[in-house]
Amino acid sequence: MSKLIPDITKDKIAGGVYQNKLHDSGHKHVNGQAVYVDDIPEPHGMLHIYMGMSTVAHAKIKSMDLSEMRASEGVACVLTVEDIPGINDYSPVKGDDPIFAEGKVEFIGQPIFAVAADTIDLARAAAKKAVIEYEELPAILTIADAMEKGSYVSDPHVMARGDADGRIATAKHVIKNSVELGGQEQFYLEGMIAMSIPGEDDEVKVYSSTQHPSEVQHNVAKALAVPDHAVTIETRRLGGGFGGKESQPALMASVSALVAKATGRAAKLRLDRDDDMVMTGKRHDFHFEYEVGFNDDGLIEGVSMLHACRAGYSSDLTDAIADRAMFHCDNVYWLPNIKVESYRCKTNTVSNTAFRGFGGPQGVFLIERIIDEIAAKLDKDPLEVRQKNFYGVDDNNVTPYHMTVEDNVIHEIFEELEESSDYQKRRAEIREFNKHSKVLKKGIAMTPVKFGISFTTTFLNQAGALVHIYTDGSVKLNHGGIEMGQGLFTKVAQVVAEEFQIDIERVKITATDTSKVPNTSATAASSGSDMNGMAAQAAARTIKQRLTDFAATQFQASVEDVEWLPNRVRVGSEEIAFTDLVKQAYLNRISLSSTGYYATPKIHYDRENCKGRPFFYFSYGAAVTEVLVDTLTGENKITRVDILHDVGKSLNPTIDLGQVEGAYVQGAGWLTTEELWWDQTGRLRTHAPSTYKIPACSDRAEDMRISLWEKGKNAEETIYRSKAVGEPPLVLGISAFHAISDAIASVTDYEVYPALDAPATAERVLMAVDRTKKAAKS
Amino acid sequence: MTSLQFVFRGELREIADIDPTYSVLRWLREEEGAVGTKEGCAEGDCGACTVVLAELGSDGSLEYKALNACIQFMPMLHGKWLLTVEDLEALQADGSLHPVQQAIVDTSASQCGFCTPGIVMSLFALYRNENRPNVNRVNDCLAGNLCRCTGYGPIIDAAQKMYDGTEGEGFTPAEANAISLLKLIPSDQGMSVSDGERHFFAPASSDELAELYKKYPNATLVAGATDVGLWVTKMQRVLEPVIYLGRVRDLREIKDNGDNLIIGAGITYSEAHQVIAEQYPDFGELIRRIGSTQVRNAGTIGGNVANGSPIGDTPPALIAADAKVLLQKGSDIRELPLQDFFIEYGKQDRFESEFVKAIKLPNRASDVIFRSYKISKRFDQDISAACGAFALKLNDGIVKDIRICFGGMAGTPARAKQAEASLIGQNWSEENVEKAMQVMEGDYTPMTDMRATADYRMMVAKNLLMKFYLETTDTQIETRVVGEKELAHV
């Protein structure tokens, strides 16, 4: 409810920073009034688009007969590569993602053509009439196959410091092993969608479910061969993104815009869930190899890692993702002698893409695995080995990429959580339980996270905002960030309310729109509130300065005498309502509108030499997970979770807690039930919720104790000293994986390390139980 | 009747001309512009499209059920009140948010909001049907509503908090209105509707059904459409005609004749759940884990049998319990052991125009020990990799009889006959069970697919026999990761 007459007597505004302001759209979510792209009233005569996809993993297209499809009932338009006026590419970086296949197909699900018809049923029926002949080529489907054949999307990259091999050779203990880590489908509940409305001249407006409207704009313009200014992208909200809607929506937007401009009719492309899961990228799966040398205390002396990830048929964002995996190879650990080799494998499968964490979780996964295995070998509590290897606060604090960790708080967080979760006592009880329980076994693990905040591609760390005050004192706010559920719009509105000292109800949040704030970066890398909050603050401060100057002039006072109070301004002994000040400013011809801009300071990176400061700061957290495992079936359940997470000074604790909990569950899902499974022809067989299993309600631990770290305060000058929260807590799901491993180890009385691969499905768990039992016998 | 009649937004709606397999979700969004109900998967697995259907119960009051609108065909609404997320405020006297909605707002239980309308409707049905259920019931209620943002905690909180508010006064008049409108739709008559080309028949008796099926042997029989719905949404199959079993009165009955439970083919999982659980507690636990609330409210045990799937969850339990299937063609009714109904993959012992009329489940004899186990990647709303059921009779520690049946291990639900034979007449001992586990390898040649490898299926099937043994011999052992722990020992 907008309050038309703000209260000018109160001590504190409603909805300023650090307050538990509820999500701005909560009311609309629950009564069905929140509008997603598919809910926008469809323009008269709108066409529905269906995409024809490759049915083979790798082939030359010998022939295509689309004549029967074109003649099919209700068909208005058929597009192939021949029909693209501009460039046949929707890639984010390298120009290697064709909108429509050209001469060859490189994965099952690759778009070949689009057919637009009066209804989606007619479009789908028509698509079945396309006749495509392939000449099949050998396909590379797995990381192992790609590694063997040297098939990469880009050159391997190496990061090294010290003498890893030398120190491993001289270490008292050495472990050499490998581990597999599965990918993950984003499974945003709202599938991919774009609706385009042709405008006059070369203009087109696209409603796109995207985390990256600017990139969508640029790609649509590129495909249409029109200037960027002809294309407008608007996005009010997403029904989930999780990285999946960073680079991929450019495909849907480009195709719908091509149809709209080709026909002069509005056109919508909404993917069916199965097509969405087959056609669009997922989290990269990894094959890891490692060799580590360590002393009796478990202190790592040298470690050598091999990362091999599955890029799929094209680059997409793989280089940045694989780099971020390398940047997180250390997690919270001081690794003086380290070498990481990273291979980005080109395969005939869908091109993998961003997913919350963007390679970071994969990087952390490996070092946590290594530490866990060291502890098992030395028969120590993994917690102790972890602490032993932590970065120092004042020394032993330089990352493998030569950035000094200046804000290390993991020691404190770990100690607090160890205490508050009752870790030691519970661990002892669990071991006792396991001695007497024949079938069910319990496990527990505590893992930390340190997550680098900033886009590692430095130029992306910029943001813009636009703030208007109208003459009634109401404020319209726009910025380049996307609301996808994370509460970004609420947080940025809190910032603007705080700056102007007005109740948040006076601030209207509007859809992200490339014609309002241009050249934005993706809402990704957890950067949303850090960057857009700062940009909005800058815009607000510009206007606020003008108003302060104006008030000083009006009341013949100095600027220092102007004090901003809730919904009012005090100048000396006079008070004036914000609304009145604004009106008077207008009458005196003071501009009430401003843009704001922010570029993250301090960051730089020299990739060739792996040196620099790619991150503005780090976010930290830790989790303890307890599980119950059935050693006859491998079924497992998370029974208790304790989390302590640092979000700096929280802009909105309620929203931040929601992010932490959701991220943890998503991370645990990645490492337990969520399994992507391709058959031998390269066809994804887990392409719908019937076969791909994200956590359901009962998978949540009944006992979850989540806290934001009370002492948290960003060491850097971020927006109100808060910290980014979107991605880092996902990494805490790794504790669930290690808890399961701990439970399995109990089967051999902790003699044999389970060497579990991920995800830890019931099957993998039972196989590990079986394997370790056999190893214990022999 | 030759028109579809249902209650919507406080009015009796009558539609004479409709595509028989047009989904309720698409009708809402495309024809009514009611876009609050979302499509997340179009296969009944995510729950974003959840709506509530209310029907007149035998006592004249309304029974509320959450259902997936994406796989409900429009003519299946006949005689029901369709409620969507847009209805709830209008049901409140003052037009404010319903307590369910308010609780979700207050607990920050929505983030992206796309799953939220479905969650609102699932919780609304729960709110109408139960008072302050425990968290396990809330989990069951929401098993079919996926949320990718929240991690569910705030939603579970909302499901408790929603009872703190008082319900709006306005709801009772709306209910009274719906009841009066529903009474205008004859409950004892068949219905047919068509779009001019394709036809939908909803006969009112099994004799009518038999006649229709004789006339249209190629008809698709539909009960809950939890499977057939996907033929339309995912495969774009054109079904002609469709015969709906949901209004066939005598198929909608479940009776205990003293020796057997006669479960009509139109009885849903939800309706059968408690009745079966009383006889076979662990079968009840299995039903709790079939699909989700929305799926169990629509899907039927008859359908689970009739579609012949090798991975349906009830056939292994029914076969282990020695159930029979009753088949009707015209006026002829025959009965055969359920295991004989499944001939091979995709082939059942069913004649043209013959339909599954009922399942006959023997009342459990006091000396029969029964267990069933469902193995899947996720506990709720998942399809089994393997599903095993065991029925054992002991006499002084000697196996008098044992029936072991598995789904997911062969082209049909299949008995482990060699393993059974190796046990019968032997001591019920760990040693003999281990031998039987080896023998079981001869009973099955499972396959590898996205749910599990052949090796895992074999290993877990054998281990489930061991689990059954342990549960029947060690009264203290803990064996259950989920569900009521006591079920291991009842």
Q: What is the rounded CA–CA span in Å between residue B112 and residue B114?
A: 6
Inter-chain residue contact B377 with A242, CB threshold 8 Å: no
Closest to A370 in 3D by CA, of A300, A442, A423, A321: A300
A4 pLDDT more than 90: no
Per-residue pLDDT tens over the stretch A570-623: 999 999 999 999 999 999 999 999 999 999 999 999 999 999 999 999 999 999
Q: What is the rounded CA–CA span in Å between residue B305 and residue B386?
A: 16
Q: Give B11's strand partners.
A: B8
Interface test with B, best of A22, A31, A188, A773 (most B CBs within 10 A): A31
Inter-chain residue contact B142 with A697, CB threshold 8 Å: yes
Q: How far is A685 from chain B (nearest CA, A)?
A: 6
Q: How confident is the model at residue A2 (pLDDT cuts 50, 70, 90)?
A: very low
Q: Which residue of A has its CA nearest to B454?
A: A763
In a 10 Å sphere around its CB, with 0-12 CB exposed, 13-18 middle and 19+ buried, how is residue A202 labelled?
middle
Which phi and psi angles does A579 have, rounded to 5°?
-65, -40
Please answer whether residues A109 and A54 qualify as being in contact, where contact means their C-beta atoms are separated by less than 8 angstroms: yes
A220 pLDDT more than 90: yes
Residue A5 confidence (pLDDT): 78
Inter-chain residue contact B379 with A32, CB threshold 8 Å: no
Q: Which residue of B has its CA nearest to A485?
A: B112
Inter-chain residue contact B111 with A41, CB threshold 8 Å: no
Closest to B359 in 3D by CA, of B342, B338, B375, B334: B338
Q: Which of A215, A291, A301, A727 is catalytic?
A: A727
Q: How confident is the model at residue B172 (pLDDT cuts 50, 70, 90)?
A: confident
B95 pLDDT more than 90: no
Q: How confident is the model at residue B104 (pLDDT cuts 50, 70, 90)?
A: very high
Q: What is the rounded CA–CA span in Å between residue A635 and residue B385?
A: 12
Strands B242-244 and B199-202, how do they pair? parallel
Question: What percent of chain B shows pLDDT beyond 90?
Answer: 94
The pLDDT of A370-382, averaged and rounded, is 98
Cβ-nearest to A190 among B35, B114, B138: B114
Per-residue pLDDT tens over the stretch B76-88: 999 999 999 999 9
Cβ-nearest to B43 among A32, A635, A690: A690
Residues in chain A: 778
Residue A301 to residues A339, A352, A396: CA-CA distances in angstroms?
12, 34, 13
Cα B45 to chain centroid distance, Å, stands at 12
Q: Which residues contact A577 (CB under 8 A, 6 or more apart)?
A: A6, A8, A473, A567, A568
In a 10 Å sphere around its CB, with 0-12 CB exposed, 13-18 middle and 19+ buried, how is residue B463 labelled?
buried
Inter-chain residue contact B482 with A25, CB threshold 8 Å: no
Q: Is residue A727 annotated as a catalytic residue, yes or no?
A: yes
Inter-chain residue contact B139 with A697, CB threshold 8 Å: yes
Q: What is the rounded CA–CA span in Å between residue B294 and residue B68?
A: 6
The pLDDT of A145-157, averaged and rounded, is 98
A547-551, B164-168, B353-357: least confident range: B164-168
Question: What percent of chain B shows pLDDT beyond 70?
Answer: 99
B170 pLDDT more than 80: no
Contact residues, chain B, for A697 at CB < 8 Å: 138-139, 142-143, 145, 147, 152, 155-156, 380
Cβ-nearest to B113 among A34, A437, A655: A34
Cis amide linkage into residue A614, ω under 30° from 0: no
Cα A348 to chain centroid distance, Å, stands at 24
Cα Rg of chain A, angstroms:
27
Residue A14 to residues A498, A648, A747, B110: CA-CA distances in angstroms?
9, 22, 56, 21
Please answer whether residues B269 and B299 qualify as being in contact, where contact means their C-beta atoms are separated by less than 8 angstroms: yes
Question: What percent of chain A shows pLDDT beyond 70?
Answer: 99
B16 pLDDT more than 80: yes
Inter-chain residue contact B378 with A763, CB threshold 8 Å: no
A1 pLDDT more than 50: no
The pLDDT of A343-358, averaged and rounded, is 98
Residue ranges and CATH numbers for the domains of chain A are: 2-34+462-599 (3.30.365.10), 45-138+186-279 (3.30.365.10), 410-455+617-778 (3.30.365.10)
B168 pLDDT more than 60: no
The pLDDT of A547-551, averaged and rounded, is 98
Residue with structure tokens 């400061």? Answer: A613
Residue A149 confidence (pLDDT): 98
Q: In what order do the strands lie in the sheet with A104-105?
A: A104-105, A59-65, A131-136
Strands A204-208 and A231-235, how do they pair? parallel
Q: Which residues contact A665 (CB under 8 A, 6 or more apart)?
A: A695, A699, A700, A733, B151, B152
Residue A211 confidence (pLDDT): 98
SS3 label, residue A569: strand
Q: How far is A238 from chain B (nearest CA, A)?
A: 7
Per-residue pLDDT tens over the stretch A60-96: 999 999 999 999 999 999 999 999 999 999 999 999 9
B58 pLDDT more than 90: no
* Gap between the terminal Cα atoms of chain A: 71
In a 10 Å sphere around its CB, with 0-12 CB exposed, 13-18 middle and 19+ buried, how is residue A685 labelled?
middle
Q: What is the rounded CA–CA span in Å between residue B471 and residue B474?
A: 6
Q: What is the rounded CA–CA span in Å between residue A25 and residue A13?
A: 20
Model ipTM value: 0.97
Handedness of CA A757, A762, A768, A771 (dihedral sign): negative
Cβ-nearest to B477 among A438, A486, A666: A438
Interface test with A, best of B21, B126, B149 (most A CBs within 10 A): B149
Residue with structure tokens 């091109």? Answer: A351
Q: What angle do CA A678, A680, A681 make, to 5 degrees?
A: 90
Q: What is the rounded CA–CA span in Å between residue A342 and residue A319?
A: 10
Residue B120 to residues A237, A709, B50, B98, B144: CA-CA distances in angstroms?
19, 32, 9, 9, 12
Residue A230 confidence (pLDDT): 98
Q: Which residue of A has its CA nearest to B95?
A: A31
Inter-chain residue contact A696 with B146, CB threshold 8 Å: yes
Q: What is the rounded CA–CA span in Å between residue B91 and residue B62?
A: 15
Cα Rg of chain B, angstroms:
23
The DSSP result for B104-173, as a single string, is HHHTT--SS-SSHHHHHHHHHHHHHH-SS--HHHHHHHHTT---SSS-SHHHHHHHHHTTTSPPPTTHHH
Which phi and psi angles does B296 have, rounded to 5°?
-70, -25
Residue B169 confidence (pLDDT): 43
Interface test with B, best of A30, A35, A687 (most B CBs within 10 A): A30
Q: Which residues contact A127 (CB under 8 A, 6 or more apart)?
A: A50, A51, A52, A69, A113, A115
Per-residue pLDDT tens over the stretch B111-145: 999 999 999 999 999 999 999 999 999 999 999 99
Q: Other C-beta atoms within 10 Å of B245: how many? A: 24
Please answer whether residues A99 and A84 qualify as being in contact, where contact means their C-beta atoms are separated by less than 8 angstroms: yes
The DSSP result for A417-469, as a single string, is HHHHTTHHHHHHHHHHHHHH-SSEEEEEEEEEEEEEES-SSGGG-EEEEEEEE
Cβ-nearest to B41 among A38, A675, A688: A688
Task: Name the amino acid, one letter, at A364.
Answer: V
Inter-chain residue contact A666 with B43, CB threshold 8 Å: no
Contact residues, chain A, for B41 at CB < 8 Å: 273, 688-690
B252-281 as b/e, with b when 16 or more CB fall inside 10 Å? bebeeeeebbbbbbbbbbbbbbebbbebbb
Cβ-nearest to B40 among A25, A35, A273: A273
Q: How confident is the model at residue A527 (pLDDT cuts 50, 70, 90)?
A: very high
Q: What is the rounded CA–CA span in Å between residue B167 and residue B176?
A: 15
A187: left (phi over 0), alpha (psi -120 to 50) or beta: left
Strands A338-346 and A300-312, how do they pair? parallel
Per-residue pLDDT tens over the stretch A552-568: 999 999 999 999 999 99
B171 pLDDT more than 80: no
Inter-chain residue contact A32 with B84, CB threshold 8 Å: yes
Contact residues, chain A, for B152 at CB < 8 Å: 665, 695, 697, 700
SS3 label, residue B428: coil
List for chain A the helix, strand, coil content (%; round to 5).
Answer: 35, 25, 40
Residue with structure tokens 């099949």? Answer: A136
A3 pLDDT more than 60: no
Show the tokens assigned to A230.
Answer: 């002809």
Mean pLDDT value across chain A: 97
